[in-house]
Structure 1
Amino acid sequence: MQIAFVHATARGAVDDTLRTVTDMLRARGHRLAGVLPVPCTDPDRHACDMDLIDLASGACLPIAQRLGRGSTGCRLDGAAIEMAAMAVAGGLATAPADLLILNRFGKQEATGHGFHPVIVTALERGMPVLLGVNDLNRPAFEIFADGLATELPDAPFAVCDWLLPLLRRRAA
């Protein structure tokens, strides 16, 4: 099983690292699947609103409920995450990819939902998987990975050092 995760405590740090890794791998011609967050810059939306970008298709996948700027509740829309996961799964079924990148093993995945089945499918196909994992969901991720995941430093070049040999073997 070729699964690795990046853990960082600073808000947004993992996202920045994964974006840089994505850019570095695309520059080398690798085909990527998965999602990364798109920061919300619309002044009519709350700063915590989030969309995901599908790395294979480029589609924007909204995953936040529109609760208004003054709301304080959780904005995550579980149904929207399920739809985003289905979009990524559909892409994996129709277009080959070298690597699955997901910004978070989050609350949905910790309960076996969201991108959990997509991760399993990628691993069953021998596709390397790279995830972001936060402190809250790390115990669930460690149970899921059963000691087989590699923790990588929050540094793009170190992540690529782990990935590139795996990607070369997949291409061969």
Structure 2
Amino acid sequence: MLDVADISFAPQKQVIQDIPLSRNTIAARVNELEDNLNNHLKDKIKEFIFYSIAADESTDIKDTAQLVVFIRGINKDFIITKELLKCLPLKDTTTAQDIYQAIEQLISINEPDWGKLCSITTDGAPAMVGKNTSVVTKLPKKISDEATPQHKLIGIHCIIHQESLASKILKMDHVLS
């Protein structure tokens, strides 16, 4: 870092040398940045007139299930916001109930109006879109208290997973050459 300071801003090299770079200091700064970004996102979410979420569960390299949730919303000025809401590790099991509770807790923390949730996009796994006890069947029950009677939550299956499966099966050499 000091080598860069010599080239980029030599007069301020001493200032850079005085910056504390201990592990605890860096961790504290990262936490402050996270809090700041979360507060800005919360402020944007409160302005949404409608929003949708995308959720995907997969397993990382250490065999820990991770739930990734994105939020996309629009405010009264038609400004669209798309952000990663959170990447949550799921402990032990990844049932529909576990995923639903994680999404419910995450949305509640960020304080959007449940009645403004208009769609959820998932990977098509049974825990996400199953017929009886999936995330997509549980969410309408949650939002029915806050939504208007004609409000209907739309469940969307992410096409990227289908394209990935199709690309493994289809032989496209004759088309590409």
User: Could you state the TM-score of these two structures normalised by the residue count of structure 2?
Assistant: 0.34
**Structure having the larger proportion of residues in helix:** 2
**Structure having the larger proportion of residues in strand:** 2
Give the number of the structure whose alpha-carbon radius of gyration is greater: 2
